[in-house]
Structure 1
Amino acid sequence: MSTVGLHLLCLCLFISTTDAHYMYGFENCQFSSEDEHESMFFGYVYYNKQLIVSYNSTEGKFTSYTEKTKEIVNGLNKNQHLLNEMKHAHDECKQGVPDMVKILEESAQKPQVRVFSTKTATSHQPGIIICSAYNFYPKPITLTWLRNGEEVTSEVISTDEMSDGNWLYQKHSYLEYIPTPTDTIECMVEHASLPTPELYKWGRTVPKSRKNKIIVGTAGLLLGLAFTTIGVIYYKKHTKGHVLVPNY
């Protein structure tokens, strides 16, 4: 199951006589299953769009990202009361994981997935295979390419999750590759709506024009065999009891 995050946002606006300055922060509770031990808690503080301070429950301390906030962060990390408050927030995050998982499972929308080619590969030029996931919720999703069961990490480009404007999302992953006749190409989809990852196999398709030629050729062959069979039956019926004498 993909990692899910619950965000709590606090926005603060500071105005001076010359211009406006703003600071905002948010808390992020992340979890990947109902197991509370797999949950993590983060805090971020931004000033004028720049990240200046963060908190990580794994490390259990604050981190500074600017020279001006180093001294402030040192004071925060010595403030045991504040550190206990952050630990308490993480405990609340862990306690709420089962309820959040239940809510997500009830509201989750399974993605509709297509795996297809847009550019046919040749012996010298790679083709392009696309794995597209549509109409899924919640937003986080992972699309992974597999070649003969092994993950493909090169020649892969993926888009971000894009909103459809109706609480549903879509995402696309592109694989540039020259497949061999024995290769099996699959797109593995991981999403909160899926109890286990699902595999979608790419199937090689014959171009439409070539399909038509094959169909016409097969029909012609069958028609020819039918006329040949009728001719043999007619010949045998009308020559029964007669002896054919060669004409010299």
Structure 2
Amino acid sequence: MDFLDFSCFHLVLIFSLHGVVYSSDGDFAEMKARCRAKNKNDIEYLEETYFNNKKFIVYNTTKGIWTGYTPHGTQLASQFNAEPLSHATKTAAKDILCVANVEALYSFLQNFTYKPLVKLRSVESRGTKNSAMLVCSAYDFYPKTIIITWLKNGQVMTSNLTSTEELANGDWSHQIHSHLEYTPTPGERITCMVEHISLTEPQLYDWDPSMTNSEKNRIVTGASGMLLGLVFATAGLIFYRKKCTGLVQVPINDMGDSTDEMD
């Protein structure tokens, strides 16, 4: 397998056969037979021939024609396109090399994938006072190719976005962080959409603006202050009660009587 990637929100698999033929005078021809699958039902077979590292002629089952890239290659392409047997041969090659192996390849890859752990949070924005910054982070996924897309009310957002490259965690897993700076509008829905080979369908994570991180921090701070105040109030009450319990009350009348007797 030469390549594993996402394209246009679909998985693209490419695996190929590769052969090189050398001549006695130093020239060489190179042939690559490739399968590309966006899904199990959308499979393409390509057969590419190069001469001395220059693309010479290509057959594509999606287009159903040969295409030449040099004068001689263009001449051969015209001849091959006029032969029905040439097309039938390439269709058979697609069935044998591609269609028969895609199902097994998908099953094999599924055994070596790990789903991303996604967290959506708000951070302090460096823009205007009215702007906000959201971060959509995906952790511990494999393989590393992943797509993070921001949606506003279901529509793809394309501006004010920044993303890190897929970062290796030091083991087989990866992480990535995508930032969105936007101006909040009442009633809007901001969504982080994550696509990965380990997921059977895109996962959607809606941002809940009802409580931002700063608001949560203020609530925690306020609760901590209330708790601290309650502790001090309780301690003061206990101290006061103990102090009151330790006082000795002296009857005033008895003291007066005692004075008279002494006189």
Q: Give the TM-score normalised by the residue count of structure 1.
A: 0.65
Shift of 1:30: 0.7
Q: Does the Cα contact within 8 Å between 1:130 and 1:172 map onto a contact in 2?
A: yes
Q: 1:75 aligns with which of 76, 79, 84?
A: 79
Cα distance in 2 for residues equivalent to 1:127 and 1:98: 44
Q: Does the Cα contact within 8 Å between 2:130 and 2:184 map onto a contact in 1?
A: no
Cα distance in 2 for residues equivalent to 1:31 and 1:165: 30
Higher relative contact order (CA 8 A, sep 6+): 1
- Is residue 45 of structure 2 the alignment partner of residue 41 of structure 1? yes
Pair 172,78 (structure 1): closer, same or farther in 2 beyond 3 Å:
farther
- Is residue 118 of structure 2 the alignment partner of residue 113 of structure 1? yes
Shift of 1:5: 0.8
Shift of 1:194: 1.5
Cα distance in 1 for residues equivalent to 2:146 and 2:108: 17
Match of 1:7 in 2: 15
Match of 1:86 in 2: 90
Cα distance in 2 for residues equivalent to 1:167 and 1:223: 49
Shift of 1:202: 4.1
Root-mean-square deviation (CA, aligned residues, Å) is 4.3
Cα distance in 1 for residues equivalent to 2:121 and 2:47: 41
Q: Does the Cα contact within 8 Å between 1:2 and 1:191 map onto a contact in 2?
A: no
Cα distance in 2 for residues equivalent to 1:171 and 1:208: 25
Match of 1:206 in 2: 214
Pair 89,161 (structure 1): closer, same or farther in 2 beyond 3 Å:
farther
- Is residue 161 of structure 2 the alignment partner of residue 156 of structure 1? yes
Pair 97,115 (structure 1): closer, same or farther in 2 beyond 3 Å:
same
Q: 2:36 aligns with which of 19, 29, 54?
A: 29
Match of 1:189 in 2: 194
Shift of 1:210: 5.3
Q: Does the Cα contact within 8 Å between 1:114 and 1:133 map onto a contact in 2?
A: yes
Match of 1:60 in 2: 64
Cα distance in 1 for residues equivalent to 2:165 and 2:38: 20
**2:10 partner SS:** coil
Cα distance in 2 for residues equivalent to 1:67 and 1:180: 59
Q: State the structure with more CA Rg.
A: 2
Q: 2:103 aligns with which of 92, 98, 107?
A: 98
Q: Does the Cα contact within 8 Å between 1:111 and 1:135 map onto a contact in 2?
A: yes
AA matched with 1:70: T
Cα distance in 1 for residues equivalent to 2:33 and 2:168: 22
Cα distance in 2 for residues equivalent to 1:11 and 1:146: 45
Pair 170,223 (structure 1): closer, same or farther in 2 beyond 3 Å:
closer
AA matched with 2:76: I
How many pairs were matched up? 226
Pair 166,81 (structure 1): closer, same or farther in 2 beyond 3 Å:
farther
Pair 8,105 (structure 1): closer, same or farther in 2 beyond 3 Å:
same
Q: Does the Cα contact within 8 Å between 1:159 and 1:172 map onto a contact in 2?
A: yes
Cα distance in 2 for residues equivalent to 1:165 and 1:49: 37
Shift of 1:209: 7.5
Shift of 1:77: 2.4
Match of 2:244 in 1: none
The alignment-based identity, stated in percent, is 31
Match of 1:244 in 2: none
Cα distance in 2 for residues equivalent to 1:53 and 1:143: 37
**1:206 partner SS:** helix
Cα distance in 2 for residues equivalent to 1:15 and 1:202: 63
